[in-house]
Amino acid sequence: MLKKLKTLSFLIIVFILSFGINCVQFPEDVVFNNPVDPEAPNYVGVPSVDLDGDGISSYYDVDDITILSPADGTITSDGTPTLVVYKFNPSLVQRYCIRVSISESDFENNIVHENDNISSNYYAIPVGVLENNTTYYWCAKAYDGTKWSDNWSESYGFTLDITIQVPTIPIPIDNSNISDTTPVLDWEDVYEATGYHIQVNTADDFNGTIIVDDEDVIQSNYQVSTVLDNNTIYYWRVRIKNGDGILGEWSNTWNFDIQIKKPLNLTPSNGSVTADFTPLFNWEDITNALGYQIEINDFSGTIIAIDNSLTLSEYQITNPLENYEMYYWRVKIKNDDGVWGDWVGTTMLSGRKYKKFVKIII
């Protein structure tokens, strides 16, 4: 019986000791309480220390603000990197503030992003904030319910370096002459793209008149809505936006020249002679033309006929022309955007025996 009691006592002591050891509560200011990667199952901890020498460990002192990750000098291909700050006692700190700048020394005038209402000690920069091939610097503060950290933490820098495909295969092809004054611009579809940024300008450095500057293009084509001018060269380029909202490098600069079609095969033609004093003026029909304008003058410049409401590619003069008189006539078209093209003209000279001579002036 005594032997059994000794055995039972021994087991009870072992249980108490084991339970006591398992229940030991280490002070929170000395445990490894700061994960570099909060999502990792086996994170690396950061011990609490008294950074400012005020006798309060950093776990309880927002003035001991420290940033952890990404480490200073990191090069990343993540367009929405997660920034990790030292994790204070959750019952003490209410929120964190993170500031991102493009300047290592000026965090007041070169801010690209700031959020002062972060409940966790880690924060993913939102989509579309960062630009590729750019170095950024970041720092942090914490708020304990009564005050923010006296100073910003030290700053760390990271560089965004992502390989993004450059668009190719433009339509219209480079250096094209086109007659459409509201053209559809098209380029190679890129699998990784979630969107595109397109610019159209009157200058090849894109510092001229802005025709298009759109970062929210979804498809690999763009319908120009602004009616473009005739006899004008326009320059355009495209770049890709990836899933993190990061824009790649610009494509080559392409250009096209607006040249509205001119009427051809004018009659009476150059060198023609006619005895018809009320001739029919005729020219080639232009597809998609909204209308035509004709003008007829005599040698002195007096207008004999003018009409900008023609819908057919011909004009019948009604008042007889004078014999032995020179006449000028010209015609131009209006395209389906309502833009007038250039004049194409002739000179007509009446002759003896009711004959007339016509000479084209370009």
The tally of CA atoms less than 13 A away on the side-chain side of residue 113 is 18
User: pLDDT confidence of 349, banded at 50, 70, 90?
Assistant: low
Residue 193: its H or E element: none
Sheet with 210-217: list strands edge to edge: 176-178, 254-258, 232-241, 195-201, 210-217
pLDDT at 191 over 90: no
pLDDT at 335 over 70: yes
- What per-residue confidence (pLDDT) applies to 120? 86
pTM for the whole structure: 0.64
Distance CA 86, CA 153 (A): 10
Instruction: Give domain 280-361's CATH number out of 2.60.40, 1.10.3470, 3.40.50, 1.10.8.
Output: 2.60.40
Distance CA 344, CA 203 (A): 29
pLDDT at 345 over 70: yes
Name the class of domain 28-160: mainly beta
Percent of the chain clearing pLDDT 90 (strictly above): 48
**Which of 213, 184, 209, 183 minimizes the C-alpha distance to 196?**
213
Q: Where in the chain is the domain with CATH 2.60.40.10?
A: 28-160, 176-258
Residues ≥6 apart with Cβ < 8 Å to 98:
83, 85, 113, 114, 115, 118, 123, 138, 139, 140
Question: For the domain bounded by 176-258, which CATH number is listed?
Answer: 2.60.40.10
- What per-residue confidence (pLDDT) applies to 232? 97
pLDDT, tens digit, for every residue of 268-322? 877 676 778 888 999 999 988 999 999 998 878 888 899 999 999 999 988 888 8
Least confident among 71-75, 170-174, 222-226, 274-278 = 274-278
